[in-house]
Amino acid sequence: MVTIKEVTSKSDFKAFVKFPFELYKDNQYWVPPIIKDELETFNKDKNPAFHSAEARFFLAYQNNQIVGRVAAIVNWIEVKEQRLKKMRFGWFDFIDDFNVSKALLEKVNEIGKAHELTYLEGPVGFSNLDKVGVLIEGFDHIGTMITWYNHPYYQSHFEEHGFVKEKEYLENKFPSKNADPKFFAKANMLIKKRYQLRPINFTSSKEIMPWVDAMFDLFNDSYASLASFVKITDVQKEYFKKKYISFINPEYIKFIVDKEDTLVAFAIVMPSFSQALQKAKGKLFPTGIFHLLKAKKHSKDVIFYLIGVHPSYQNKGVTAVIFNEYHNTFTEKGIETCIRTPELEENTAIAQIWKHFNPVTHKRRRTYRKDL
């Protein structure tokens, strides 16, 4: 028999966060989060996502053992402003038992109906900067700190419970040597001259901070036309600014401005922390922080986290300027592999940006939908 218990206490939340550590304890491809950071994500007093969303968290028990978890989320900006009657769910993990996954999804279904929503979609987070999708291909590739990993049986559970594909995301990678300057060096010069653009490079996080609000505004403008996009609010800007910017190598953040110093494009790359997080085992202390700092300085793999171009400059070759700057930085750092974050399969514009680098799709992930 499966029992569902709502998470309310500090000990419950800690159990919620630590369940995957047990579920994936022998898996060489799963990348654990930092427990402290994950707990803050679910803290209504610390995560500004709760200003425009609400969430309830549940654990599934069988024989007095935790066997599953799920977060049921309503993003009210999405529901009220975009008129999408969507019940979100994420952080969905479970043992290979259909009764367990069914019981958890039924609880999400119940909440969705109570809010008069019309369909479920998951796994997704609070917003577009959260993790997304269940892995359906690429189980033998190490995860990243910005994606969920899961066992292969998850897909069959969704299908058994009547869910259908909603969106598909591709994860691609390529050797940095594929970034041949012949594809962008000349264009870089022409584009800068034609549109009177210039790149801005940074050597410290302090230099970046005055630009961060403009970057998030540009992010909102760049992705507004994509399905399911929910804009970043002002309070979320402050949160992400404090939480992430100082954690990213300043030389891996590139901005492009016009003659009036207005931001028209940006890109953020992160060193891969996957192996460092596996060594940290969910804790910064006593040694986890040193593994992360070592990866920040020496990792030869990088993750293209975000890239955004103002709509008025899209399809004008501005990415050539960005790639030229990264080529110089990656050559200096000895970067070997470039990994891209999950991108919507339907996003043909992003595919065009990367076509000359001969990327290989090494993972696929999917969100599933079910009408209420």
- Average pLDDT in the 327-341 region? 96
Question: Is it true that domain 174-362 has CATH number 3.40.50.10300?
Answer: no
Domain boundaries, the chain: 3-172, 174-362
Read off the pLDDT of residues 285-321 as tens digits, 9 standing for 90 and up.
999 999 999 999 999 999 999 899 999 999 899 999 9
pLDDT at 224: 80
- Average pLDDT in the 99-112 region? 98
The whole-angstrom separation of Cα 5 and Cα 107 is 10
Average pLDDT of the chain is 94
Centre a 10 Å sphere on the Cβ of residue 293 and count the other Cβ atoms it contains: 11
Structure pTM?
A: 0.94
pLDDT at 128: 79
Read off the pLDDT of residues 284-293 as tens digits, 9 standing for 90 and up.
999 999 999 9
Read off the pLDDT of residues 3-23 as tens digits, 9 standing for 90 and up.
999 999 999 999 999 999 999
The whole-angstrom separation of Cα 208 and Cα 241 is 10
Residue 214 contacts residue 263 (beta carbons within 8 Å) = yes
Of 191, 174, 194, 200, nearest in space to 319 by CA: 191
- Looking at domain 3-172, its CATH class is alpha beta
